[in-house]
Amino acid sequence: MGDINVTDKLNLQNSFKLYDEALGLIPGAILGIRRPYNFVQGEYPIFFRTAKGGKVIDVDDNEYYDYLCSYGPIIIGHREEEIDDAVIEQIKDHGFCFSLTQPVQNELGKVLRNLIPCAEKMVFMKMGSDATTAAVRVARAYTKRVKILKGPTYAGWHDWSSDVYGITAGIPEKIRNDTIEFEFNDLEHTEKLLKQHKDELAAVLMTPINTPGGDVVELPEPGYLKAMKELAHEHGAVFIFDEIRTGFRVNIGGAQKEFGVKPDLACFGKAMGNGYPISTLVGKAEIMNVLEHDVFLSSTFFPNSLSQVASLKTIEFLQKNNVIETIKSRGTILEKRIRESIETSGVPATYSGGSLMPYITFKRDEKKLYKSIREEFYRQLIRRRVFLQPYHHGYICYRHTEDDLDYTADMIDESLREAKKLM
Ligand SMILES: Cc1ncc(COP(=O)(O)O)c(C=O)c1O
């Protein structure tokens, strides 16, 4: 694909046909963030057919470099044989959906305890939202308090956290009022809120890296996470890291290992199973132990072992192949090239996300020209078969080769130059 330089509009006929059909089946045709308005409408595919490694193929047979990586889970690559073989073996040799738990639960638990600094005890679930909601319930039970101070990053679709995009229908106001959002990297703001809600706060829950929808990715300032932990503890609140995005990406032990700040509880999901649905809440035994008797946590599918097997294999693969370091070093080169392209193109764009979460955003201007520039940039990019999202940072996976990233950097450069023509 390295020599492809097609810049024409893509043929997306089959995607559009399936979309029309889905409109009659699924309210809105597609759920949530995958809806066409989250991309450039009419330019992006709507349905994917298949994928392998770092590439995806849509239902019209267009092939793309996939830098969304399914919004995070794909850390190694799509259809990774070692992982899939382990899962198939589990299906064929053992089965995975039983009335009782299979021993792989303990194996995975021991691995996590060795890798993640705060993981004295853990519970396994399926979705990231399961883990963040469990964290909130555990913290509330432990502190016997109700309010949650939460960072600006999306933390799942459940009621306590779900006014992120300002869409609140169906969520009782009294529940929303118990979650208060603080500004990232702004200790003063947090301190003010803590004082205001003194003796009411069950938890401070935050992502260690700030990834607000549609806005620049923000790393924690030196000392910030440690100060947040101290503030939470001073006010009697449980300190929770939502590591759903950072877990198994920034470090094999999570962002808590990378930044050297151990939270009381932490949530992991996405990359821990390379695409298989699994999440976990881990943390200090004293706090986690409220799950023994006080807190109810159960689902028909939580103990299903397929994802636990996939997660064990994924973690083994990450360690054996030095995956995270490889992604970081390739990502650093990509970051450098994108920063150079932004500089030389003269487009008012910002690069953020460092080596792991590449994201190009456009500086707001009064005339709102940035919206057209943004649309043109992402239109040009998708036509060049680079799949990134205008309102969400990207990810790099292990199967993206240096050549892939080189091609991608070239296409980003070309697309920026095309977008510049609108200025
Ligand atoms: C930081 C963070 N927390 C929680 C969630 C919720 O995870 P899920 O979509 O698997 O329920 C997400 C999902 O994007 C997330 O990015």
The closest residue, in CA terms, to atom 7 on ligand 1 is: 128
CA angle 101, 116, 107 (to 5 degrees): 25
Calculate mean pLDDT across residues 353-364: 97
**Pair 418, 380: CB distance under 8 Å:** yes
Q: The domain containing residue 400 runs over which residues? A: 322-366+390-423
Which of 320, 338, 358 is the last residue before a domain boundary?
Answer: 320
Which of 284, 302, 320 is the last residue before a domain boundary?
Answer: 320
Q: How confident is the model at residue 396 (pLDDT cuts 50, 70, 90)?
A: very high
The whole-chain average pLDDT of the chain stands at 96
Calculate mean pLDDT across residues 51-65: 98
Domain shared by 315 and 331, yes or no:
no
pLDDT digits (tens, 9 = 90+) for 122-146: 999 999 999 999 999 999 999 999 9
Q: How confident is the model at residue 11 (pLDDT cuts 50, 70, 90)?
A: very high
pLDDT digits (tens, 9 = 90+) for 158-170: 999 966 678 889 9
Report CA(365)–ligand 1 centroid distance (Å).
31
Domain shared by 172 and 237, yes or no:
yes
Domain shared by 281 and 249, yes or no:
yes
Q: What counts of helices (H) and strands (E) characterise the chain?
A: 14, 13
The minimum-distance atom of ligand 1 relative to the CA of 127 is: 10
CA distances from 281 to 46, 130, 297, 322 (A): 33, 9, 11, 25
Whether the pLDDT of residue 394 is over 50: the answer is: yes
- Residue 34: inside a domain, yes or no? no
- Residue 48: inside a domain, yes or no? no
CATH code assigned at 281: 3.40.640.10
The whole-number pLDDT of residue 164 equals 63
- Give the count of domains, the chain: 2
The whole-number pLDDT of residue 165 equals 73
Report CA(229)–ligand 1 centroid distance (Å).
22
| 81-95, 143-157, 162-176, 236-250, range with the lowest pLDDT | 162-176
- Residue 2: inside a domain, yes or no? no
Report CA(202)–ligand 1 centroid distance (Å).
21
Please give the residue that has the higher pLDDT: either 411 or 213: 411
The whole-number pLDDT of residue 5 equals 52
pLDDT digits (tens, 9 = 90+) for 171-201: 999 999 999 999 999 999 999 999 999 899 9
Which of 299, 320, 341 is the last residue before a domain boundary?
Answer: 320
Domain shared by 224 and 316, yes or no:
yes
Tokens of 211: 């990834």
Tokens of 328: 């970081």
Domain shared by 359 and 278, yes or no:
no
Domain shared by 311 and 337, yes or no:
no
| Strands annotated E in 271-400 | 279-283, 349-352, 359-362, 386-387
- Residue 151: inside a domain, yes or no? yes
Domain shared by 270 and 400, yes or no:
no
Domain shared by 207 and 232, yes or no:
yes
Domain shared by 118 and 235, yes or no:
yes
- Residue 156: inside a domain, yes or no? yes
| Mutational pocket test of ligand 1: of 245, 249, 393, the residue with most ligand atoms within 8 Å of the beta carbon | 245
- Residue 188: inside a domain, yes or no? yes
Q: How confident is the model at residue 247 (pLDDT cuts 50, 70, 90)?
A: very high
Report CA(294)–ligand 1 centroid distance (Å).
26
- Residue 326: inside a domain, yes or no? yes
- Residue 44: inside a domain, yes or no? no
Calculate mean pLDDT across residues 369-373: 97
Verdict on whether the full-model pTM lies above 0.95: yes
Domain shared by 154 and 300, yes or no:
yes
The whole-number pLDDT of residue 198 equals 86
Domain shared by 398 and 259, yes or no:
no
The closest residue, in CA terms, to atom 4 on ligand 1 is: 155
The closest residue, in CA terms, to atom 2 on ligand 1 is: 155
Report CA(400)–ligand 1 centroid distance (Å).
23
The closest residue, in CA terms, to atom 3 on ligand 1 is: 155
Domain shared by 278 and 237, yes or no:
yes
> Pocket residues for ligand 1 (CB within 6 Å)?
71, 127-129, 132, 153-156, 207, 242, 244-245, 269
Report CA(112)–ligand 1 centroid distance (Å).
19
